[in-house]
Structure 1
Amino acid sequence: MPGWIRAYVRVVEAVNYRVGRFAMYLLFVIMGILIWSSITKIAGVPALWTLEMAQFTLVAYYLLGAPYSLQLGSNVRMDLLYAQLRPRTQAWWDVITIFALIFYLGVMLFGAVESTTYSLEVGERSPTAWRPYLWPIKIVICLAFVLMLLQAFVHLFRDIATLRGEEL
């Protein structure tokens, strides 16, 4: 494989590794928010922001962890037959199916960018009592889709290398 592909794979996987490891700790942030929510409810003065903030943090946790999950190969896969295939046949199957993932992620990224642009232009806020701006979480969603798309191409390059008998 060309040197630029090897460099691309190295950089994207290093970034997704770090972002994924960071995202793992967002689970503790979610727990802290929900504990604070419980404490304020028991005290009789429930915080308005806790439910939505927990939801926003969960979105970041889930979406920023997805590229890392794909990188580790821990994504969900229907492997009734796949696991029994030879590695080269698995690579062929992955090369074919990765294009569906790339198309899906491209469509999702397009929609996320459109929604984020609208949110920034209009100053979109949540219709709840807390009324937070929505653009910060929408930017995180766009970033997550970009990272997932980059990781999907890494997956494609690895499968092509496998088909060529190379190691990436």
Structure 2
Amino acid sequence: MSVATERESVRKSRLVQAVRLYVRYVDAVSHGVGRFAMYLIFPMGAILLYSTIMRVIFGYPINWIMEMSQFMLSAYYLLGGAYSLQLDAHVRMDLFYGMMSPRRRAIMDAFTVLAVIFYLVVLFRAGVSSTEYSITYSQKNYTAWAPLLWPIKALMTFGIFLMLLQTIATFFKDVAEARGKSLA
């Protein structure tokens, strides 16, 4: 074995180790944030229950409830997005996909995930821009409650970023599976 071939082998081995480490780390973060996001349904339910009790029993409508529940729902599905990608729990149109072999599915996924990555990059850039604007100008919602919008925009941008990282990890997994290898 020549020195150049040995160097190339070591370089590929280090690259595979780096990809494995990236996938492992992103999967762990997505899992943790996703499990946290799952429990956001309880405070959201409590807020809506409180609103119903105050309105129906006491006749006292609360104007911030609907906005707060919308903010909680946005955090719920955007923070949980990466976790659902990790679990492969997202919606997929299964006309021909189910008839393919696992290797062909991995090849198909590796190509289609590139469009998702592009979409998430554009969405993330817009989220960062919108969050910066929100912070710079202390943007508030045009309602009676008038909450600051930067906290929810920052959470949404963070959720999109996590989905982007998880999508890249999924791409690496699909490429490895298409090559007949595993990143585990």
TM-score (norm 1): 0.97
Q: What is the rounded CA distance, in whole Å, between the counterparts of 2:93 and 2:178 in structure 1?
A: 21
State the alpha-carbon separation in 2 of the partners of residues 144 and 50 from structure 1.
23
* 2:153 aligned with 1:138: yes
User: Structure 1, residues 50-97: CA drift from partner, whole Å, max 9, x if none?
Assistant: 110000000000111111001001110011110110011111111110
Partner of residue 123, structure 1: 138
1:151 aligns with 2:171: no
Distance 1:63 1:147 in 2: 9
CA–CA distance in structure 1, aligned partners of residues 68 and 81 of structure 2: 20
Shift of 1:2: 1.0
Residue 44 (structure 1) shift: 2.0
Name 1:6's counterpart in structure 2.
20
What residue ranges of structure 2 are gaps of 5+ in the alignment? 1-14
Residue correspondence of structure 1 range 12-161 to structure 2 within 5 A: 12-42=26-56, 43-161=58-176
Cα deviation, residue 163, structure 1: 1.8
Name the count of aligned residue pairs: 168
- The runs of at least 4 aligned residues of structure 1 exceeding 6 Å deviation read none
Root-mean-square deviation (CA, aligned residues, Å) is 0.9
Identity value in percent: 48
Amino acid corresponding to residue 40 of structure 1 in structure 2: M
Cα offset, 1:144, TM superposition: 0.4
Partners of 2:106 and 2:23 lie apart in 1 by 17
Separation in 1, partners of 2:97, 2:113: 14
Q: Flag the structure with larger Rg.
A: 2
Please, what TM-score do these two structures have when normalized by structure 2?
0.89
CA distance in 1, matches of 2:29, 2:161: 12
For 1:89 and 1:166, locate their aligned partners in 2 and report how far apart those are by CA, in whole Å. Answer: 14
Q: Which runs of 5+ in 1 are unaligned?
A: none
Q: Distance in 1 between matches of 2:59 and 2:147?
A: 23
